[in-house]
């Protein structure tokens, strides 16, 4: 049973993690595990429509409001969720942090989120701990069940601790699909802190789901979580050095080794130092290394960037890190619209407008 500590009580939160089956059944988006293969393509289809509408927007969510509540620093996720909501005709709120809210008067964060949840129509939340967005989802659902609110508010996981960052992966896979016109069969080198980097957890799960292959480089101090490994099965290829992967893959996805999860005990700190040293000495990708990748391959990074790529990489046409950020707005337009029970694809079709959507 999935449990969470809510207002000092252990609460079963498995109900908020139910699969997202179809448009009619609006749900929270907390994990890649909730998404079916068809569902994943549905997000991408909407993202293509979002690209068509990225400049001029569309008024599908007029008078609806999104709260992008970031309990950890964010530039891309908070901003692109806000921009996506505005492009859909809605509005985005702003959370100024604990100091600027009644949390400064010792209001608990659960009470605080419950208060914010009644002011909005959709909620995107980032938390420092795992399953933080599930706190909000469970609270809102319980309020609805008790009759203390009248309509469902979808909660979107904008990054929860070291667990997952599912919307980053949906956006990144949109960038990959735009480039290759497919996902299935692609080979992706995923290089990062397998234990602590949430974006790679979501990406590895999605690779398994979408029939792609993950090339990884595990070490004694950097192991992929067992459940993710199991889901990848034969699609997981462990290489001994990075160049063995680079000569074969379509995509190189380098990730951070997040300092914020360095830990306070000695062992955790030692692990982090080892990891940082290993990255600096063995894994840093420079332009020369990029060149050993196949001709039409791409190199990605969810950013913020660290020393994973040398500075000389950033003017190489393989680098798609800026494209990733740009594509994140239409991708998040797609996520918001589907979780609000609507569709940009259908709205465009109703207007007889065909957008350049290879997934049709």
Provide, rounded to whole angstroms, the least separation between the CB of residue 256 and ligand CP. Answer: 9
Q: Which two tokens stand for residue 205?
A: 């799960």
CB 187 within 8 A of CB 252: no
The footprint of ligand CP on residues 318-357 (CB under 6 A) is none
The footprint of ligand CP on residues 141-180 (CB under 6 A) is 159, 168
Provide, rounded to whole angstroms, the least separation between the CB of residue 160 and ligand CP. Answer: 12
For ligand CP, give the closer residue by CB, 165 or 209: 165
- Lay out the site mask for ligand CP across 234-273 (x = CB under 6 A, - = otherwise): ----------------------------------------
Provide, rounded to whole angstroms, the least separation between the CB of residue 328 and ligand CP. Answer: 8
Provide, rounded to whole angstroms, the least separation between the CB of residue 164 and ligand CP. Answer: 12
Cα–Cα dist 197/253, whole Å: 12
Q: Which two tokens stand for residue 94?
A: 């702003």
Provide, rounded to whole angstroms, the least separation between the CB of residue 185 and ligand CP. Answer: 26
Verify binding: residue 219, ligand CP, rule CB under 6 A.
no
For ligand CP, give the closer residue by CB, 75 or 102: 75
Task: Find, among 328, 329, 323, 324, the residue nearest to 88 by Cα.
Answer: 329
Terminal Cα-to-Cα distance of the chain (whole angstroms): 39
Provide, rounded to whole angstroms, the least separation between the CB of residue 325 and ligand CP. Answer: 8
**Torsional sign, CA 224, 322, 38, 347:** positive
DSSP secondary structure of 282-329: II-B-HHHHTTS-TT-EEE--SS--TTB-GGGTTSTTB-HHHHHHHHH
The footprint of ligand CP on residues 295-324 (CB under 6 A) is 302-304
- Lay out the site mask for ligand CP across 64-83 (x = CB under 6 A, - = otherwise): ----------xxxx------
Question: How many residues sit close enough to ligand CP to count as binding (CB under 6 A)?
Answer: 9
CB 46 within 8 A of CB 149: no
Provide, rounded to whole angstroms, the least separation between the CB of residue 188 and ligand CP. Answer: 17
129-149: burial string, b at 16+ Cβ within 10 Å, e else: eebbbbbbbbbbbebeeeeeb
For ligand CP, give the closer residue by CB, 74 or 357: 74
For ligand CP, give the closer residue by CB, 80 or 343: 80
Q: How buried is 26 (Cβ within 10 angstroms: 0-12 exposed, 13-18 middle, 19+ buried)?
A: middle
The secondary structure of the chain in percent helix, strand, coil, rounded to multiples of 5, reads 45, 15, 40
Tally the C-alpha atoms within 13 A of residue 342's C-alpha that lie toward its C-beta: 20
- Lay out the site mask for ligand CP across 23-62 (x = CB under 6 A, - = otherwise): ----------------------------------------
Footprint of ligand CP on this chain (CB under 6 A)?
74-77, 159, 168, 302-304
């Amino acid at each position: 049973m999935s449990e969470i500590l809510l207002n000092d009580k252990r609460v079963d939160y498995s109900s908020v993690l139910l699969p997202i089956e179809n448009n009619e059944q609006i749900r929270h988006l907390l994990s890649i595990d909730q998404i079916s293969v068809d569902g994943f393509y549905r997000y991408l289809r909407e993202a293509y429509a979002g690209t068509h509408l990225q400049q001029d927007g569309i008024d599908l969510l007029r008078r609806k409001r999104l709260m992008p509540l970031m309990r950890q620093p964010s530039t891309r996720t908070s901003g692109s969720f806000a921009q996506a909501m505005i492009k859909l005709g809605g509005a985005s709120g702003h959370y100024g942090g604990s100091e600027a809210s009644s949390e400064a008067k010792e209001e608990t964060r659960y009470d605080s989120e419950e208060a914010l949840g009644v002011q909005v129509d959709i909620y995107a939340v980032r938390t420092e701990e795992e399953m933080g967005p599930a706190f909000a989802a469970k609270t809102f659902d319980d309020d609805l069940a008790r009759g203390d609110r009248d309509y469902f508010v979808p909660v979107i996981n904008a990054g929860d601790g070291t667990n997952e960052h599912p919307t980053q992966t949906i956006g990144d896979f949109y960038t990959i699909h735009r480039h290759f016109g497919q996902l299935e069969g692609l080979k992706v080198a995923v290089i990062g802190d397998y234990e602590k980097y949430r974006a790679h957890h979501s990406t590895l799960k999605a690779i398994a789901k979408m029939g792609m292959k993950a090339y990884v480089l595990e070490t004694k101090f950097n192991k992929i979580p067992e459940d993710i490994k199991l889901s990848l099965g034969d699609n997981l290829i462990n290489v001994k050095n990075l160049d063995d992967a680079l000569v074969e893959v379509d995509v190189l996805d380098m990730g951070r080794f997040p300092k914020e999860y360095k830990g306070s005990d000695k062992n955790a700190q030692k692990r982090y130092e080892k990891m940082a040293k290993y990255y600096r000495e063995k894994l840093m990708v420079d332009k020369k290394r990029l060149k050993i990748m196949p001709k039409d391959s791409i190199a990605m990074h969810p950013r913020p960037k660290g020393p994973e790529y040398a500075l000389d990489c950033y003017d190489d046409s393989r680098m798609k890190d800026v494209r990733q950020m740009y594509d994140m707005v239409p991708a998040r337009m797609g996520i918001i619209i589907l979780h609000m029970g609507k569709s940009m694809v259908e709205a465009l079709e109703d207007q007889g407008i065909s957008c350049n959507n290879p997934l049709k």
